């Protein structure tokens, strides 16, 4: 009997203030139930430059993130950190969000117009200049397009992944 699991995600357009432009990012806002062996196949199925899986904080941040390209896991990348900060900090109403990454804690400072986040920046690594980002928050509502990844696992064929 096949087992079906649904995992919710948000698509955000990063480095832009215009809908359907910028660098797309899939953010799975609660990855606690996503099996480890499915992280890479899901990222490959999403086929964005990066896909982020969010977990509860473990080292003093607000959330822990794992970043995957379609081919491998990355300890850090600016675009997914900034995009994840926008997705996560919006509902939390935080002026700064601290994300736990493979290189350690990364604070992201956010600028708002009312409740809407319009700009974010971070010092991604010590001694480097800040990374700045705009994000389109008007594309499909407050942050981006929401969807579900459906994974069907059978004993004979393994996982079958589809997005909706």
- Per-residue model confidence (pLDDT) at position 126: 45
User: Which pLDDT does position 142 carry in this prediction?
Assistant: 35
* pLDDT computed for residue 138 by the predictor: 37
Q: Which of 45, 50, 100, 113 is catalytic?
A: 50
Q: Computed over its alpha carbons, how large is the radius of gyration of the chain? A: 16
Answer yes or no: 50 catalytic.
yes
Question: Cβ distance 86 to 137 under 8 Å?
Answer: yes
Partner residues linked to 66 by β-bridges = 53
Single pTM value for the model:
0.80
Q: Where are the domains of the chain?
A: 3-163
User: How many CA atoms does the CB half-sphere of 54 hold within 13 Å?
Assistant: 24
pLDDT at 32 over 60: yes
Fold of 3-163: Diaminopimelate Epimerase; Chain A, domain 1 (3.10.310)
pLDDT tens, position by position, 80-113: 998 898 889 877 888 889 999 999 999 988 877 7
Long-range contacts formed by 161-164: CB under 8 A, 24+ apart: 161/38, 161/41, 161/42, 161/45, 162/45, 163/45, 163/46
| pLDDT at residue 99 in the model | 94
What are the pLDDT digits (tens) for 52-68? 999 999 999 999 999 99
Q: According to the model, what pLDDT value does residue 64 have?
A: 98
């Amino acid at each position: 009997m096949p087992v079906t699991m649904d995992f919710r995600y948000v698509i955000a357009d990063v480095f832009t203030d215009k809908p359907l432009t910028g660098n797309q990012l899939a953010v799975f806002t609660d990855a606690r139930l996503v099996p480890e062996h499915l992280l890479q196949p899901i990222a490959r199925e999403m086929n964005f430059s990066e896909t982020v899986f969010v977990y509860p904080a473990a080292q003093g941040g607000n959330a822990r993130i794992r970043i995957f390209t379609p081919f491998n896991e990355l300890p850090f990348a600016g675009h997914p950190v900034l995009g994840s900060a926008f997705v996560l900090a919006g509902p939390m109403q935080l002026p700064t969000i601290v994300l736990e990454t493979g290189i350690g804690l990364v604070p992201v400072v956010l600028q708002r117009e009312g409740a809407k986040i319009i700009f974010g920046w971070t010092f991604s690594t010590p001694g480097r200049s800040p990374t700045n980002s705009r994000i389109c928050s008007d594309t499909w509502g407050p942050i981006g397009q929401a969807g579900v990844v459906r994974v069907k696992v059978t004993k004979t064929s393994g996982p079958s992944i589809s997005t909706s």
